[in-house]
Structure 1
Amino acid sequence: MQRVDAERPRELSLFRPLEASAYRPRRDQRKAINKWNKFILGSEYMRKAARLCPRTREEKRHRKCNFDLLSAVHQSEYDYIKRPIDPATKLPIEPAHRFEVTIEGDSVSQAKFELFRKYQTAIHKEDVSHWKPKEFQRFLCTGLKRAPNPLTAANSSQKKLGSWHQCYRLDGELIAVAVLDLVPNGVSSVYVFYDPAYEQWEIGKLSAMREIAFSIENQYLYYYMGYYIHSCQKMRYKANFRPQYILDPESCDWDPLDGEMTEKLNSRSYVSLSRDRGFSPAPLVPENDVDLEEVSLFDIGMPGVLTVPQVEALDLDHWLLFFNNNFVHMKDLVNWENMSMTAPMSIKGIIAELAAVLGPQIVRNSAVDLLG
């Protein structure tokens, strides 16, 4: 993945979260993961496994006609591999390589740091002296706090929240790390770095498929691929995870990343379909004409932000506030009931604007920490 290039800000695009269950792998994606699985398992293991635990005719027909994402991403993981006893050796058959994937806290380790520097040097051509352990820690190891969700812990105790590292190990050696932010409704892909020796295996593509599978298995609704720069070849794989939608920078509508959009992105760095179709957004008010401290977010009419009636329907009174190591309801704050949601400098106004931006699903499954 790639950091933002400050020299080309107009090329930066945002993707709408991909609904994980709606994802359908393309042929090249299926080919990539099948190729990786064959590399890990090895021809000898596959030959012995076919003989010692053969599939039924129905199973063979089903596999030929259907691609199962969850089965495919786990097929070469050591914990999922069948290891029947070989009659000749009286020992379990073993794959060519031992491949393991674990989800771990975003802690710093020497192995992660060395792998990251190797990746940045070989893939992004950066000077190795640019990165010190503290810079690496600040960049990829100090993300969201890992904590259970107090509103869903009772019925979803296994659901992780916060920043995590999905670590890939081959024969005991760390070869790739996917940095993930887990929020109540989705998995956000922050960064992926890997050993350049495995670049031919398209690790970025494989990790994205595995993260979508992780989203489905752990009941996260969406997969967030973050920003996108069409001219960056290392990011092109993102556009191939469909259905994909891209944000119109002027109308704030979501447009499908289809043939028409791709053709326009290929020909120019700034694309707005609403402008191309003749839509003219309302003129912006000059900043010096407005005292922003006196203007409520609800008065601006920003696209995608909830209206006052919609926020009123969220029951802000019972939204949790984390204070002094305890959770309290908003209604327990002094003078809460007398405050107005449209008063931008009041605590109720601040909370209401936050809810309007986050939306109902996050409000229902989160708590506010104003001092965090």
Structure 2
Amino acid sequence: MDSAGTPTPDDASVPYSHIFPIGYSNSSDCGYCRGARSGQSRKRFSYYAVATSLTPDFYQKLVDRCWRRSGTLLYRPNQKNSCCPHYTLRLDATGFKPTKDQRQAVNRFNKFVLGEAYSKEAARLCPRSREEIKKRDNEFDLVARVSESEFQSLKTPPLPAHNLVVTLEHDTFSEEKYEVFENYQRLVHKEPADKISRNGFKRFLCNSPLTRETLTGADGKEKKLGSYHQCYRLDGKLVAMGVLDLLPHCVSAVYFMYHESIRSHNPGKLGALREISLALDAEYRWWYSGFYIHSCPKMRYKVDYSPQYVLDPETLEWDVLDKEALAIFDKKPYVSLSRERKQQEEEREEEEERGKEEEKDGEKESTSSTSDTDEVPGVVSDGNGNDSGGDDEAFLFHSNMPGIPSLEDMKQVDMDNLLLRSDYSDECFLASQLVVWDTESIGEYGNLKSRIAELVAAIGPDLVSEFCVDFRRKNRM
């Protein structure tokens, strides 16, 4: 805790995650289809909240329920009500097999770092056996290969052409980190200089709300949890950085940036492979590459890493993102693979029943299906003649957001023992202790109880014992 009693990322003993509810609303613009859909409606409805502290275990559960974070801002997108639906992806590092192009990128970069003179002299001083050479030629050990050119892995002398050092550091601000960020945003992302600032960098990529912990496995191997910067220094200069959330079961990629000077070395690809290697070597198993937007060409690179799994927004179960699944994404703006399977099964059953009827009646006429297509409405009626989903702010329980309990379901959820914090008390207190708790209804949009119910629904009623609703303003300043 700091002097004010506020949890900090190093407070691993803090038992609860502290979250402030913002609400369900539409983003003012969509950066993914800007300019690509001129004249068309662009919308990106999500439920938003702010985290003042998050345990790694709790945030793992959130990302497995379609959530992501941007700094302290948490958001869960509504895939049904979005011009560019966001889907959660994860890769099984234990089953990952690099493609030829990915292997070549690693080998070319290692060759650049080591240099021809070093490679020849090292081979002379420390020759590999015939078996070692054969194994290296036939097997691509990702963990060994991505770290092959790191200075600490080398036998010296001789000295390599370049000194490569890769470290995991706390996600704190420094000028050298900002310089890489500024260069990347300006020269690679083509962002105007007036949109790039130190405060923006700090807010977005530093000082995460995740607490830092260290787990020790049965084999004595340590696993870091929390937010970190994976820093790549070449000849003493920071040239790239991956912003990572290390969670109990995954390496979650938040952002990756690099200096324009190393652009020719495929740094994005090298960074992804390094993060997958970390997931494999430190036994996190899964690599989460962030949201996947099928309609955005710049996102297609993510499916080049396999086996990839996509989170079903309705069942919150994982499905293999294979060619068959991608073909479905090609055809529909919103996809729930469990719904697709159910629909296909219903169509098969209808076809079988139709065949039996034709055989029974001796009819040979063809009949057409009367099943409705699963179209996503642009606006959803709240049942009172008012449309919800078109305004900047809306009621979550009147939205069509997948995977969210209905208003009637939420009325059955016991929220009385949910912990709350406010500026008027130094201690947590129960929701049932609120003066208005028994008089307000969660069905009345905008009141305190409905705001709390929206947050519980968006997170999941089964997690009410793991977080505290934090209304303290001083913690969000």
* TM-score, L = length of structure 1: 0.71
Deviation at 1:102, TM superposition (A): 0.6
1:58 has 2:131 as partner: yes
Cα distance between partner residues in 2 of 1:95 and 1:78: 8
Deviation at 1:260, TM superposition (A): 3.6
Cα distance between partner residues in 1 of 2:203 and 2:226: 15
Cα distance between partner residues in 1 of 2:420 and 2:271: 36
The within-5 A match list for 1:23-102 is 23-83=96-156, 92-102=157-167
1:221 has 2:221 as partner: no
Opposite residue 53 of structure 1, the aligned amino acid is: C
Cα distance between partner residues in 2 of 1:291 and 1:137: 30
Match of residue 251 from structure 2: 187
For 1:103, what is the secondary structure of its paired residue?
strand
Cα distance between partner residues in 1 of 2:469 and 2:431: 16
Cα distance between partner residues in 1 of 2:173 and 2:287: 25
Deviation at 1:58, TM superposition (A): 1.0
1:237 has 2:237 as partner: no
Match of residue 11 from structure 1: 84
Please identify which structure carries the higher strand content. Answer: 2
- Across the aligned residues of Structure 1 and Structure 2, the Cα RMSD in angstroms comes to 4.6
Match of residue 173 from structure 1: 237
For 1:11, what is the secondary structure of its paired residue?
coil
For 1:94, what is the secondary structure of its paired residue?
coil
For 1:32, what is the secondary structure of its paired residue?
helix
Aligned length, in residue pairs: 331
For 1:159, what is the secondary structure of its paired residue?
strand
- Contact 2:33/2:84, CA 8 A, preserved across alignment: no
Please identify which structure carries the higher helix content. Answer: 1
- Contact 2:212/2:227, CA 8 A, preserved across alignment: no
Cα distance between partner residues in 2 of 1:75 and 1:166: 17
- Contact 2:420/2:431, CA 8 A, preserved across alignment: no
Opposite residue 166 of structure 2, the aligned amino acid is: V
Opposite residue 20 of structure 1, the aligned amino acid is: A
Cα distance change, pair 30–76 in 1 and its aligned pair in 2 (3 A): same
The within-5 A match list for 1:227-306 is 227-247=291-311, 254-263=318-327, 278=343, 286-288=381-383
| Worse-superposed segment, 186-195 or 211-220 | 211-220
1:206 has 2:270 as partner: yes
Opposite residue 101 of structure 2, the aligned amino acid is: D
Match of residue 327 from structure 1: none
Cα distance change, pair 62–241 in 1 and its aligned pair in 2 (3 A): same
Higher CA-based Rg: 2
Match of residue 314 from structure 1: none
1:161 has 2:225 as partner: yes
Deviation at 1:46, TM superposition (A): 0.6
Deviation at 1:15, TM superposition (A): 3.4
Cα distance between partner residues in 1 of 2:107 and 2:145: 7
Deviation at 1:202, TM superposition (A): 1.3
| Worse-superposed segment, 137-146 or 4-13 | 4-13
- Contact 1:144/1:181, CA 8 A, preserved across alignment: no
Deviation at 1:140, TM superposition (A): 0.9
Cα distance change, pair 24–172 in 1 and its aligned pair in 2 (3 A): same
For 1:76, what is the secondary structure of its paired residue?
coil
Cα distance between partner residues in 1 of 2:408 and 2:126: 63
Opposite residue 105 of structure 2, the aligned amino acid is: A
Cα distance between partner residues in 2 of 1:216 and 1:14: 23
Match of residue 339 from structure 1: none
Opposite residue 10 of structure 1, the aligned amino acid is: C
- Contact 2:86/2:293, CA 8 A, preserved across alignment: yes
Cα distance between partner residues in 1 of 2:96 and 2:461: 26
Write the deviation string for residues 301-350 of structure 1: whole angstroms up to 9, x where unpaired: 99xxxxx9xxxxxxxx9xx999xxxxxxx9xx899xxxxxxx9979xx99
Cα distance between partner residues in 2 of 1:120 and 1:146: 28
Percent of pairs with identical residues: 39
Ranges in structure 1 where 5+ consecutive residues have no aligned partner: 84-91, 303-307, 309-316, 323-329, 336-342
- Contact 1:250/1:281, CA 8 A, preserved across alignment: no
Write the deviation string for residues 264-288 of structure 1: whole angstroms up to 9, x where unpaired: 6567765566777746779999545
Deviation at 1:168, TM superposition (A): 0.4
Write the deviation string for residues 352-372 of structure 1: whole angstroms up to 9, x where unpaired: 97985788xxx9xxx645548
1:121 has 2:153 as partner: no
Cα distance change, pair 55–235 in 1 and its aligned pair in 2 (3 A): same
Opposite residue 223 of structure 1, the aligned amino acid is: W
Opposite residue 110 of structure 1, the aligned amino acid is: E
| Worse-superposed segment, 38-47 or 122-131 | 122-131
Cα distance between partner residues in 2 of 1:49 and 1:358: 58
Opposite residue 169 of structure 1, the aligned amino acid is: R
Cα distance between partner residues in 2 of 1:370 and 1:269: 34
